[in-house]
Structure 1
Amino acid sequence: MTEFAFPQDLLSEIKTRWQSIGNQHFQLPEDIVLKRLLETCYHASLRTSEQRSVNCVVAYAPLTDIPQGVLQLTNGTIVMSESELVRLSPVTQQRQTVIGCDSWEGWLRIWGFFEYGHAWVQLSAGDPPAVPMQAIDYPPDCLTITIENPGALTISCGRTSLIRLREGRIIVPQKNIFQSLENPLGSFFNQLVNDLLASEDYENVSFITDEENGQRSLLDIFTTTILAIMERIRLRQHGGSIVIVRMPFDEKLIHKTYTASDSTGLANGIIQYKILEDKLRLISTNDCEEVELQRCRAESALRTASQQLIRGMSQIGLLAAVDGAVLLDQNLRIQGFGVRFPVLLPSGATVIDAVTGSEYPCDQWGLRHQSVFSFCNRCTDSIGFIASQDGKVKAVKNSDGQLYFWDGILD
């Protein structure tokens, strides 16, 4: 077995990123232990168990420093190896159950498993938590390595992603492209949310945002909802596409195989969820017995809003299984599914990778891609999302007359 079969600068990149976070309760292991941990996880990612790929999260932390939800293994010392990770991965859930390990007499040992809180499980899946996030809900800020696909690892400090390893390349997480005004995707979604808040229904509503304490912005909830829908489509391994377009637009550019009646749309559900979440947080700051009934009612209302949002997200994800795209308007209201775009790309049309700047002919992709490319190319006030059957998901947007794509948006 080749030792340390990953980029040589991976270790130094992790240490640099770790130090930039600061204020961690946990420390990185020494270099030789960190290398062995990375090597073990990397080679485990290349293995299969009964034709299933290995997917799990490994956390490096002393057992005594994990506060809750621990299942300790008591059958002697279990040395952590790629074979052990392959064997144990089926009993874990990637976003919830974590394999705990530490260093013991120069070896890595597995001491057991621990659980993340349910609210974090919902949030990390892109679903709106049924209760407001509290500090205790977040993962401990120890070193974690998520094995996602063959050769694909994500190294994190608790909830903060440090480094992603993809196809032998180190990817440093960038600013959220769906919320930053510095790129077309962020500008599009910022404008959608601002237009919603400027409507008569919400113009007098104010929202609380405190990311450090789990109070997410409305924009964050909005964009995370879109990504959670695409994650549902990816997990079905059927492929599918979603196009969001600002109304009105040229109806000649589309052909709806099926139409649906969706009177409100997910966007209004997202806003109501945010209003209820903020209300519950304000109530929870008051410990008087008089507000206990009020708190219970607010919790019930938030739980209902969360369930309604999740049902809506799942519904859109299922509709994407029909050949053709799901078409949503700016309120994330379903305008049709199985939608075809009877518009041709110009001869020799190209699309640019927004990250690398490389330019590709549009016709090098299949019909699903070309269909979304053609619509987004003609309708500049739209954005497309495409999930391939191989699990890759990309976003598509026209900016200043040029078509761009952002690959691996769920990685």
Structure 2
Amino acid sequence: MPQKNTITDLAAYIWQNIKKSTKLEYRIPPSGILEELFETLYFASMNSEEGELIKVRVAFYNPNEPVGFRRTRNIERYNYIPFGKPMPYDVKSIVKLSKSADPWSSSLAVYFDDDQELQIYGLIDQAVHTESYLNRESTTKPDQAGLFQVSIIGIGSLSVIREYDLIATFKQNILVTQFLDVLRFGPISRLLKAKAKNFTDEIIKFIVSNDFDVDIEDYEPTIHNIWRDTLSRILIHIRNYRHGGAFLISAETTGLKINYTVSYDRLHKSMARLLKWTIACDVVEEEISILGDRNMKMDLFNEYLIGKSKKKSSENELKGAIRFIASHSCVDGLILFDDDLFEQGYGVFVQDLHAPKYIYQATDNTGTESLLVRKSLSHYGTRHQSMISFCYANEGSIGFVVSQDGDIRAFTKAGDKLIMWESIKTHKYLKSAPSRRLPTTRLKSL
């Protein structure tokens, strides 16, 4: 069984993390302040307001922050809106304010006064842009307010982020500080890259048909990023339903009972369209930047505006396809994709359960043999056992299971072992690498 932790452990870990920072603009708060901050949110998470669970984010924000801290002049940057007078930082105030401070709208600005008392000083606006970035619905990374942010993510569950790094989660007295990026590294990442071959070939064909003088290898990271981001977004939306759910990526259907058969290819097609229009826009933008002829620039600029509009439409189409598919998780049973990410059906059940006696939990992205932890299947419920059974019988299949409490696990077979990863990354917490400029060439057709 996992080791039980306390809020004191969480506060100590965050305090040490802040203390090690080389770019600290705030003075290090006393550890007791952090313990009170987290403990109050922890107890607030066990309440409800108007029959709904509490959702709120707190920014540890100094209301006297100097103007010089503002790094950008972006019009969408957050503002601090003070209350007429500070409110006490307690469970009652948090529960009451949570209805007016949904994490998609704002954060509570909390800091300590000269008497070492925590106060709610006001609100931080423009939170929708932070949430859009974290949920992979935007590539624009806005500034974040304060030294760090802590959110209620469920009953007795908190998460702490700082500069888009997920520092820790605390769920039902389990402190997690390591998060596995299995969609980017390791066996599951390699399987996904192999399954994306048809998608990659489609993009190659597009590049060739438009006479783009580019090397497809330069774009392989972008191709795999869109697959990873799309799968992450589906998992995020399934988790947000708080119902639990699962999806399976497999070319095999033997042993599956599909209650609701569909043939939905729009997810794949919208990803392809988005990538094509992204390439097209960047190519035209690059040519505009080097042209000296004003008239030719204007012609290309009009072409660029059309491309940007098409790209935006593709982003919206993909968003709709993701939410359409994620909603199918609310029906009992898993969602089934083929290797091209075409949805084949939902409400799917594994009929023949031939599960291994043991599974092996990976403690790193790659599933290093010496670091595997053997676990009995009896520790897991029916949804997990079904996914384990199918993936064990069908090498090359990838399964994801979202528990009702929000935990996400990934499964695949490696050699003779069924490997499980948990505490996996889905939100875009880590800082993105700068995008690469496309070589100069003009769009001929799309």
Percent of pairs identical after alignment?
19
1:6-405 superposed matches below 5 A: 6=6, 8-18=8-18, 22-23=22-23, 25-63=25-63, 64=65, 68-70=77-79, 72-106=81-115, 107-116=117-126, 118-127=128-137, 129=138, 132-133=139-140, 135=141, 137-140=142-145, 142-181=147-186, 184-193=187-196, 196-198=199-201, 200-201=204-205, 217-245=222-250, 247=251, 249=252, 251-262=253-264, 264-277=265-278, 279-280=280-281, 290=298, 292-346=301-355, 349-355=357-363, 357-362=372-377, 365-405=380-420
> Contact 2:410 / 2:422 at 8 angstroms: preserved in 1?
yes
Q: Is the 1:69–1:114 Cα contact (8 Å) retained in structure 2? A: yes
Distance 1:225 1:156, change over 3 A: same
Q: 1:206 to 1:308 in 2, by over 3 A?
A: farther
* Larger RCO, structures 1/2 (Cα 8 Å, 6+ apart): 2
Assess if the C-alpha contact under 8 Å between 2:238 and 2:244 holds in 1: yes
Deviation at 1:78, TM superposition (A): 1.7
Unaligned runs of 5+ in 2: 71-76, 209-213, 364-370, 428-446
SS in 2 for 1:395: strand
Which moved further from structure 2: 376-385 or 321-330? 321-330
- The one-character-per-residue Cα deviations of 1:84-141 (angstroms, maximum 9, x if unpaired) are 11211122222441111223222222221123464443232233x3xx52x5x24246
Find the residue that maps to 1:299 and give its secondary structure: helix
Q: Once the two structures are superposed, what CA deviation does each residue of 1:5-37 show, in whole Å capped at 9, x if it has no partner?
A: 935443443244335554355554344433332
In 2: Cα distance, 1:335 partner to 1:117 partner: 36
The alpha-carbon distance between structure 1 residues 91 and 283, as it changes in their structure 2 partners (threshold 3 A), is farther
Q: 1:139 to 1:217 in 2, by over 3 A?
A: farther
Alpha carbons of structure 1 residues 230 and 294: separation in structure 2 relative to 1, 3 Å = same
Q: 1:22 to 1:191 in 2, by over 3 A?
A: farther
Whether the aligned pair in 2 keeps the contact of 1:71 and 1:114 (CA below 8 Å) is yes
Q: Distance in 1 between matches of 2:33 and 2:284?
A: 47
2:85 counterpart letter in structure 1: G
- Greater Cα offset, 274-283 or 50-59: 274-283
Moved more, 301-310 or 278-287: 278-287
Structure 1 range deviating more: 108-117 or 376-385: 108-117
| Deviation per residue, 1:241-299 (Å, 9 max, x gap) | 21101x3x3x433333333233x452443243234345545666868883653443233
Quick one: distance in 1 between partners of 2:143 and 2:166? 13
Look up the SS of the partner of 2:205 in the other structure.
Answer: coil
CA 1:318–1:164 in 2, change beyond 3 Å: closer, same or farther? closer
Q: CA offsets, 1:45-68, max 9 Å, x none?
A: 343334533221111123345864
Mean alpha-carbon deviation: is it higher for 151-160 or for 57-66? 57-66
- Counterpart Cα distance in 2 of 1:139 and 1:317: 28
Cα 1:202–1:381 change in 2 (3 A) is: farther
Distance 1:118 1:302, change over 3 A: farther
> Contact (CA 8 Å) 2:261, 2:344: kept in 1 or not?
yes
SS in structure 2 at match of 1:258? strand
Q: TM-score, normalised by structure 2?
A: 0.75
Distance, in Å, in 2 between the alignment partners of 1:99 and 1:395 is 34
Q: Which has the larger radius of gyration?
A: 2
TM-score with structure 1 setting the length: 0.81
The residue type paired with residue 414 of structure 2 is S
CA distance in 1, matches of 2:198, 2:91: 51
